[in-house]
Copies of this chain bind each other. A is one copy, B any other.
Amino acid sequence: MEFKQQEGVTLAEVAKAAGVGESTVSRVLRNHGSFTTKTRDRVLAAVQHLGYVPNRIAGTLASAGSRLVAFVIPSLSNIVFTDVLRGASATLEDHGYQAVFAVTDYDPEKEEALVASMLAWRPTAVMLAGYEHADGTVKMLRAAKCRVVEVLDIDGVALDLAVGFSNHAAGRESANFMLQRGYRRIGYVGHDLNRDTRASKRFASFCETLGAGGAPLADRQIHPGPSSVENGRIGLEQLLARTPDVDAVYFSNDDMALGGYFHCLSHGIMVPDDLAILGYNGLDIGRATPQRLSTLLTPRVTIGQVAAQLVVDDAPSQVIDLGFELIEGETA
Protein backbone atom coordinates (compact mmCIF):
# COMPACT_ATOMS: atom_id res chain seq x y z
CA MET A 1 0.00 0.00 0.00
CA GLU A 2 2.15 2.82 -1.28
CA PHE A 3 1.08 6.39 -1.43
CA LYS A 4 2.74 8.33 -4.15
CA GLN A 5 -0.01 10.80 -4.97
CA GLN A 6 2.54 13.49 -5.52
CA GLU A 7 0.87 15.57 -8.12
CA GLY A 8 -2.35 13.66 -7.76
CA VAL A 9 -3.19 10.17 -8.92
CA THR A 10 -6.02 10.37 -11.41
CA LEU A 11 -8.92 8.14 -12.10
CA ALA A 12 -7.41 7.35 -15.48
CA GLU A 13 -4.28 5.98 -13.84
CA VAL A 14 -6.35 3.82 -11.56
CA ALA A 15 -8.26 2.54 -14.56
CA LYS A 16 -5.08 1.65 -16.37
CA ALA A 17 -3.61 -0.05 -13.30
CA ALA A 18 -6.78 -2.07 -12.80
CA GLY A 19 -7.06 -2.86 -16.49
CA VAL A 20 -10.57 -1.47 -16.79
CA GLY A 21 -12.22 1.57 -18.28
CA GLU A 22 -12.50 4.91 -16.53
CA SER A 23 -16.23 4.75 -16.25
CA THR A 24 -15.95 1.41 -14.52
CA VAL A 25 -13.70 2.85 -11.87
CA SER A 26 -16.07 5.73 -11.44
CA ARG A 27 -19.02 3.39 -11.03
CA VAL A 28 -17.26 1.22 -8.50
CA LEU A 29 -16.08 4.15 -6.45
CA ARG A 30 -19.50 5.69 -6.28
CA ASN A 31 -21.16 2.31 -5.93
CA HIS A 32 -23.53 3.35 -8.65
CA GLY A 33 -24.45 1.33 -11.71
CA SER A 34 -23.51 -2.31 -12.11
CA PHE A 35 -20.24 -4.23 -12.06
CA THR A 36 -19.10 -7.67 -10.98
CA THR A 37 -17.48 -8.41 -7.66
CA LYS A 38 -14.30 -9.32 -9.45
CA THR A 39 -13.89 -5.99 -11.19
CA ARG A 40 -14.80 -4.18 -8.03
CA ASP A 41 -12.02 -5.94 -6.18
CA ARG A 42 -9.55 -5.20 -8.92
CA VAL A 43 -10.46 -1.54 -8.89
CA LEU A 44 -10.33 -1.24 -5.13
CA ALA A 45 -6.96 -2.96 -5.09
CA ALA A 46 -5.61 -0.45 -7.59
CA VAL A 47 -7.07 2.44 -5.61
CA GLN A 48 -5.45 1.10 -2.49
CA HIS A 49 -2.16 0.49 -4.22
CA LEU A 50 -1.90 3.92 -5.77
CA GLY A 51 -3.33 5.76 -2.80
CA TYR A 52 -5.93 7.34 -5.03
CA VAL A 53 -8.04 10.12 -3.56
CA PRO A 54 -10.96 11.10 -5.81
CA ASN A 55 -11.02 14.71 -6.90
CA ARG A 56 -14.36 16.13 -5.93
CA ILE A 57 -13.64 19.38 -7.66
CA ALA A 58 -13.59 17.56 -10.95
CA GLY A 59 -16.46 15.34 -9.93
CA THR A 60 -18.62 18.27 -9.05
CA LEU A 61 -17.86 20.08 -12.27
CA ALA A 62 -18.72 17.06 -14.34
CA SER A 63 -21.91 16.15 -12.57
CA ALA A 64 -23.94 18.65 -10.66
CA GLY A 65 -24.31 18.78 -6.92
CA SER A 66 -21.32 20.08 -5.02
CA ARG A 67 -22.63 18.71 -1.75
CA LEU A 68 -21.23 21.80 -0.17
CA VAL A 69 -23.34 23.65 2.37
CA ALA A 70 -22.35 27.24 3.05
CA PHE A 71 -22.86 28.81 6.45
CA VAL A 72 -22.73 32.57 6.59
CA ILE A 73 -22.93 33.38 10.27
CA PRO A 74 -22.56 36.59 12.27
CA SER A 75 -20.05 35.31 14.78
CA LEU A 76 -18.12 32.37 16.11
CA SER A 77 -17.97 33.77 19.63
CA ASN A 78 -21.67 33.51 20.16
CA ILE A 79 -22.61 30.00 21.14
CA VAL A 80 -25.89 30.37 19.34
CA PHE A 81 -24.24 30.07 15.97
CA THR A 82 -21.72 27.42 16.84
CA ASP A 83 -24.55 25.34 18.26
CA VAL A 84 -26.40 25.56 14.99
CA LEU A 85 -23.24 24.54 13.17
CA ARG A 86 -22.82 21.70 15.59
CA GLY A 87 -26.32 20.45 15.04
CA ALA A 88 -25.97 20.64 11.31
CA SER A 89 -22.49 19.24 10.89
CA ALA A 90 -23.18 15.71 12.04
CA THR A 91 -26.16 15.31 9.73
CA LEU A 92 -24.28 16.80 6.83
CA GLU A 93 -21.23 14.62 7.32
CA ASP A 94 -23.38 11.52 7.47
CA HIS A 95 -24.78 12.34 4.08
CA GLY A 96 -21.52 13.19 2.39
CA TYR A 97 -21.89 16.94 2.54
CA GLN A 98 -19.17 19.35 3.51
CA ALA A 99 -19.74 22.47 5.56
CA VAL A 100 -18.10 25.71 4.49
CA PHE A 101 -18.40 28.80 6.61
CA ALA A 102 -17.68 32.49 6.74
CA VAL A 103 -18.20 35.05 9.48
CA THR A 104 -19.99 38.33 8.83
CA ASP A 105 -19.35 40.03 12.14
CA TYR A 106 -23.02 41.10 12.07
CA ASP A 107 -22.31 43.31 9.08
CA PRO A 108 -24.92 43.08 6.28
CA GLU A 109 -22.48 44.35 3.68
CA LYS A 110 -19.91 41.81 4.65
CA GLU A 111 -22.66 39.23 4.53
CA GLU A 112 -23.41 40.24 0.96
CA ALA A 113 -19.79 39.93 -0.07
CA LEU A 114 -19.45 36.58 1.64
CA VAL A 115 -22.61 35.20 0.11
CA ALA A 116 -21.27 36.18 -3.27
CA SER A 117 -18.03 34.35 -2.76
CA MET A 118 -19.85 31.37 -1.30
CA LEU A 119 -22.08 31.17 -4.33
CA ALA A 120 -18.97 30.84 -6.46
CA TRP A 121 -18.59 27.38 -5.00
CA ARG A 122 -22.03 26.44 -6.21
CA PRO A 123 -23.18 25.15 -2.83
CA THR A 124 -26.21 22.93 -2.47
CA ALA A 125 -27.51 25.30 0.17
CA VAL A 126 -26.66 28.51 1.95
CA MET A 127 -27.58 28.94 5.60
CA LEU A 128 -27.94 32.40 7.04
CA ALA A 129 -28.97 33.83 10.37
CA GLY A 130 -32.33 35.50 10.36
CA TYR A 131 -34.24 37.49 7.83
CA GLU A 132 -32.50 40.80 7.64
CA HIS A 133 -30.28 40.85 4.59
CA ALA A 134 -28.98 43.47 2.20
CA ASP A 135 -30.93 43.83 -1.05
CA GLY A 136 -28.04 42.49 -3.04
CA THR A 137 -27.85 39.42 -0.87
CA VAL A 138 -31.50 38.63 -1.45
CA LYS A 139 -31.16 39.19 -5.17
CA MET A 140 -28.19 36.87 -5.47
CA LEU A 141 -29.82 34.22 -3.37
CA ARG A 142 -32.98 34.30 -5.43
CA ALA A 143 -31.04 34.10 -8.64
CA ALA A 144 -28.87 31.26 -7.45
CA LYS A 145 -30.32 27.84 -7.91
CA CYS A 146 -29.28 26.68 -4.46
CA ARG A 147 -31.44 26.18 -1.43
CA VAL A 148 -31.52 28.92 1.16
CA VAL A 149 -32.10 28.28 4.85
CA GLU A 150 -32.67 31.10 7.26
CA VAL A 151 -32.16 29.95 10.82
CA LEU A 152 -32.92 31.21 14.30
CA ASP A 153 -35.78 33.49 13.37
CA ILE A 154 -39.15 33.01 11.79
CA ASP A 155 -40.62 36.47 12.25
CA GLY A 156 -40.70 37.46 8.63
CA VAL A 157 -41.05 36.16 5.11
CA ALA A 158 -38.75 33.28 4.30
CA LEU A 159 -36.74 33.22 1.11
CA ASP A 160 -37.07 29.46 0.90
CA LEU A 161 -36.59 27.41 4.06
CA ALA A 162 -36.60 28.78 7.59
CA VAL A 163 -35.99 26.95 10.83
CA GLY A 164 -36.14 28.60 14.20
CA PHE A 165 -38.61 30.20 16.51
CA SER A 166 -40.26 33.53 16.99
CA ASN A 167 -38.11 36.07 18.76
CA HIS A 168 -41.18 38.22 19.20
CA ALA A 169 -42.91 35.38 21.00
CA ALA A 170 -39.79 34.86 23.08
CA GLY A 171 -39.79 38.47 24.21
CA ARG A 172 -43.51 38.30 24.92
CA GLU A 173 -43.27 35.12 26.93
CA SER A 174 -40.39 36.49 28.95
CA ALA A 175 -42.38 39.60 29.78
CA ASN A 176 -45.44 37.63 30.75
CA PHE A 177 -43.36 35.48 33.02
CA MET A 178 -42.00 38.54 34.77
CA LEU A 179 -45.46 40.00 35.16
CA GLN A 180 -46.89 36.77 36.52
CA ARG A 181 -44.14 36.61 39.07
CA GLY A 182 -45.30 39.98 40.25
CA TYR A 183 -42.38 42.15 39.26
CA ARG A 184 -43.41 45.71 38.45
CA ARG A 185 -40.21 47.72 38.18
CA ILE A 186 -38.51 45.85 35.43
CA GLY A 187 -35.28 46.87 33.72
CA TYR A 188 -33.35 45.65 30.72
CA VAL A 189 -29.65 45.18 30.21
CA GLY A 190 -28.54 44.41 26.71
CA HIS A 191 -25.75 44.52 24.19
CA ASP A 192 -25.53 46.33 20.88
CA LEU A 193 -28.97 45.94 19.32
CA ASN A 194 -28.13 47.44 15.97
CA ARG A 195 -26.03 44.47 15.22
CA ASP A 196 -28.20 41.77 16.69
CA THR A 197 -31.61 42.13 15.10
CA ARG A 198 -32.96 39.06 16.82
CA ALA A 199 -32.17 40.46 20.27
CA SER A 200 -33.81 43.70 19.28
CA LYS A 201 -36.97 41.89 18.22
CA ARG A 202 -37.11 40.22 21.60
CA PHE A 203 -36.59 43.50 23.35
CA ALA A 204 -39.30 45.25 21.37
CA SER A 205 -41.89 42.60 22.14
CA PHE A 206 -40.76 42.44 25.73
CA CYS A 207 -41.36 46.16 26.22
CA GLU A 208 -44.65 46.10 24.43
CA THR A 209 -45.95 43.25 26.55
CA LEU A 210 -44.79 44.89 29.75
CA GLY A 211 -46.58 48.07 28.75
CA ALA A 212 -49.76 46.20 27.97
CA GLY A 213 -49.45 44.51 31.36
CA GLY A 214 -49.39 47.84 33.13
CA ALA A 215 -45.76 47.76 34.16
CA PRO A 216 -43.81 49.56 31.45
CA LEU A 217 -40.05 49.13 31.33
CA ALA A 218 -38.50 51.03 34.23
CA ASP A 219 -35.11 51.56 32.63
CA ARG A 220 -32.68 50.10 30.20
CA GLN A 221 -28.94 49.93 29.84
CA ILE A 222 -27.58 49.07 26.44
CA HIS A 223 -23.90 48.33 26.28
CA PRO A 224 -22.46 49.33 22.90
CA GLY A 225 -20.47 46.16 22.51
CA PRO A 226 -20.91 42.45 21.99
CA SER A 227 -22.68 40.35 24.56
CA SER A 228 -20.37 39.04 27.25
CA VAL A 229 -20.39 38.22 30.93
CA GLU A 230 -18.27 41.23 31.72
CA ASN A 231 -20.55 43.57 29.80
CA GLY A 232 -23.54 42.17 31.63
CA ARG A 233 -21.89 42.87 34.94
CA ILE A 234 -21.05 46.42 33.95
CA GLY A 235 -24.47 46.93 32.43
CA LEU A 236 -26.30 45.96 35.57
CA GLU A 237 -24.02 48.08 37.70
CA GLN A 238 -24.78 51.11 35.57
CA LEU A 239 -28.48 50.41 35.48
CA LEU A 240 -28.66 50.13 39.25
CA ALA A 241 -26.64 53.28 39.72
CA ARG A 242 -29.26 55.17 37.78
CA THR A 243 -32.39 53.30 38.81
CA PRO A 244 -31.76 51.53 42.11
CA ASP A 245 -35.37 50.52 42.67
CA VAL A 246 -35.83 48.02 39.84
CA ASP A 247 -37.01 44.69 41.18
CA ALA A 248 -36.14 42.59 38.17
CA VAL A 249 -33.90 42.73 35.13
CA TYR A 250 -34.26 41.04 31.77
CA PHE A 251 -30.93 40.47 30.03
CA SER A 252 -30.35 40.19 26.32
CA ASN A 253 -28.95 36.72 26.90
CA ASP A 254 -27.46 34.34 29.42
CA ASP A 255 -23.93 35.64 29.12
CA MET A 256 -25.10 39.09 30.07
CA ALA A 257 -27.38 37.65 32.76
CA LEU A 258 -24.52 35.74 34.35
CA GLY A 259 -22.54 38.94 34.54
CA GLY A 260 -25.48 40.54 36.30
CA TYR A 261 -25.82 37.60 38.62
CA PHE A 262 -22.14 37.81 39.52
CA HIS A 263 -22.54 41.48 40.25
CA CYS A 264 -25.31 40.63 42.69
CA LEU A 265 -23.23 37.91 44.30
CA SER A 266 -20.33 40.21 44.92
CA HIS A 267 -22.43 43.12 46.14
CA GLY A 268 -24.66 41.26 48.54
CA ILE A 269 -27.74 41.79 46.42
CA MET A 270 -30.12 38.94 47.19
CA VAL A 271 -31.45 37.15 44.13
CA PRO A 272 -34.33 37.03 43.49
CA ASP A 273 -35.68 38.86 46.53
CA ASP A 274 -33.78 42.10 46.08
CA LEU A 275 -33.46 41.68 42.36
CA ALA A 276 -34.73 39.02 40.01
CA ILE A 277 -32.76 38.00 36.92
CA LEU A 278 -34.02 36.51 33.70
CA GLY A 279 -31.75 35.49 30.89
CA TYR A 280 -32.19 34.09 27.43
CA ASN A 281 -30.74 31.07 25.63
CA GLY A 282 -30.59 28.38 28.25
CA LEU A 283 -26.85 27.89 28.45
CA ASP A 284 -25.61 24.85 30.33
CA ILE A 285 -23.69 26.98 32.75
CA GLY A 286 -26.89 28.49 34.04
CA ARG A 287 -27.82 25.11 35.46
CA ALA A 288 -24.65 24.86 37.52
CA THR A 289 -24.58 28.27 39.14
CA PRO A 290 -25.33 28.44 42.89
CA GLN A 291 -28.85 29.37 41.92
CA ARG A 292 -30.15 28.00 38.66
CA LEU A 293 -30.63 30.80 36.17
CA SER A 294 -34.14 31.51 34.97
CA THR A 295 -33.99 31.70 31.22
CA LEU A 296 -35.58 30.78 27.94
CA LEU A 297 -34.09 27.67 26.41
CA THR A 298 -33.71 27.87 22.65
CA PRO A 299 -33.34 24.71 20.54
CA ARG A 300 -30.17 25.80 18.81
CA VAL A 301 -28.67 22.41 18.11
CA THR A 302 -32.00 21.04 16.95
CA ILE A 303 -32.38 23.96 14.61
CA GLY A 304 -29.09 23.00 13.00
CA GLN A 305 -30.12 19.37 12.75
CA VAL A 306 -33.48 20.12 11.23
CA ALA A 307 -32.03 22.64 8.82
CA ALA A 308 -29.45 20.15 7.64
CA GLN A 309 -32.05 17.43 7.27
CA LEU A 310 -34.24 19.65 5.11
CA VAL A 311 -31.30 20.34 2.84
CA VAL A 312 -30.32 16.70 2.63
CA ASP A 313 -33.90 15.72 1.83
CA ASP A 314 -34.29 18.59 -0.60
CA ALA A 315 -37.56 19.36 1.15
CA PRO A 316 -40.03 21.85 -0.30
CA SER A 317 -39.96 25.43 0.91
CA GLN A 318 -41.36 25.75 4.40
CA VAL A 319 -41.01 27.45 7.73
CA ILE A 320 -40.45 25.31 10.80
CA ASP A 321 -41.10 26.68 14.25
CA LEU A 322 -39.18 24.76 16.85
CA GLY A 323 -40.32 26.95 19.72
CA PHE A 324 -38.49 27.48 22.98
CA GLU A 325 -38.95 26.59 26.61
CA LEU A 326 -39.11 28.87 29.58
CA ILE A 327 -36.88 27.55 32.33
CA GLU A 328 -38.05 28.58 35.76
CA GLY A 329 -34.80 28.66 37.63
CA GLU A 330 -34.10 30.24 40.96
CA THR A 331 -33.17 33.73 39.89
CA ALA A 332 -36.63 34.96 38.88
Contacts and interface: CB of A to CB of B under 8 A. Distances in A.
Interface of A: 3-8, 51, 53-58, 60-61, 66, 68, 76-77, 82-83, 85-86, 89-90, 93, 96, 98-103, 114, 116-122, 139-140, 142-145, 228-230, 232-233, 255, 258-259, 262, 265-266, 284-285, 287-290
Contacts of A60: 57
B121 A98 contact: yes
Given A4-B143, A103-B89, A103-B93, A285 B119 contact: no
B142 A7 contact: no
A100 B102 contact: no
Given A76-B82, A93-B102, A121 B56 contact: yes
A290 B262 CA distance: 6
Contacts of A259: 288
A86 B98 contact: no
Contacts of A76: 82-83, 85-86, 89
Contacts of A117: 96, 98
A8 B53 contact: no
B99 A6 contact: no
Nearest to A5: B143
A89 B101 contact: yes
Given A3-B142, A228-B288, 12 more contacts: A6-B143, A55-B120, A56-B122, A57-B57, A76-B82, A86-B103, A98-B100, A98-B117, A98-B121, A100-B100, A230-B288, A233-B288
A8 B140 CA distance: 12
A119 B51 CA distance: 12
A28 to B, nearest CB: 16
